[in-house]
A and B are shown apart, each in its own frame.
Chain A
């Protein structure tokens, strides 16, 4: 037995293989649950019943759908580009799987003298890896549309990839404030920085009023969301747009583009796109939890040490998945020009401004006095709030059909 282990690279390799296998299988099971949950929640919000036939509470419905899709006729449009047509869904699925590799989903545990991290790869460029996986995902969409050899998929693909790259900028910029305050690109280090209570945050130092009330904050977790909520909002909006979910689901726009870039896809190939999309939702949710909500941190009893962080992680991620579904049930689709307007003219300037705020506030005390710092903080904060929060008529009319009919844009 030992010589086999040595041949493939020692115990570390065995641990890595086991870890990847377990995570991969868990993700697939998670996908089944997420799709089922979405259908049940949506049905509930729309006063329907939802899937309830196959298995307890209809839990096996997704599995049945998956089997159905795999046994569906495997066809390829006449004008399709054979290999690209088959490669596009594979790229979409693989890119989504890879992005999950840098998500820390629990604390470390020691088994038989080997330390096992509950993260597939703790990279010192973790955040960049997350972005890189997302930028590869664009190819799945663009190639699907092009290779189908049909009009609507091409239209959908061009729209979708333009949308994805537009919001990728805002997504990338929204992570920079987090790097500024944590000083690291490693997701594990970012989670570690959010451990403990908000009591110890230096933000309270030097201001007597805040120092005196800081003891009341003993049970408030030290998450980045408190100080970085503008970055979080930008991240969330850009993240939803990246996953092509409502209200940013123009690429799929059932009513205008049939199904966008997926029009000519069916069966198992469609299943891969489907898998990729839901995996993307989970990854973006998990990233939001990791960066802004303390990752797997949470109160835990003394027994079953490693279970609690994992449970906290799943619970927080689940809340975000619920938010995704909630948004889908609530918000109508944005019009394309407004989508681009929001991405290019609001999110990018807002995120740049917020980076400037964070940079100024985090500068060394010796060089800029604290008063200066807080003053700059306040002014720029107000500007950001006015900029982002002001009810722009264009955004309002985007979600109000009546105004759209009036022609008042």
Chain B
């Protein structure tokens, strides 16, 4: 290919990049902490409304919410959609009954495949500015007599980025 052809090709490709790359460069990772912060707020609000005493903290940059109501103690953490931290969560909740909240429902095991595909789909919708809500997975470790099925999990089923 001669140099003038290469030059004209470069101009056409650059024009295409100028039109398309700015939208691709919106950094999803930059808004991920916002989803976690909003999820933590939603969890705290839900449990406080249900009469729990709340203690919120964080471990290695991820939030941990401890909640106590009578003899029931709950510990809630955000689990990654791909289930990277499930083994660590399991180890930390040895004596507790562990369940996972996803889309307002409780699961006995981490819904990895659904959550992974759903996260990709939610990112897709977020990039297209169709919808800015995400459905995080939350681990719920319960000790004592807790009726966790009765809690309004639907209130944390969808978390918005705004």
Bound pair (A, B): no
Task: Name B residues whose Cβ lies closer than 8 Å to a Cβ of A.
Answer: none
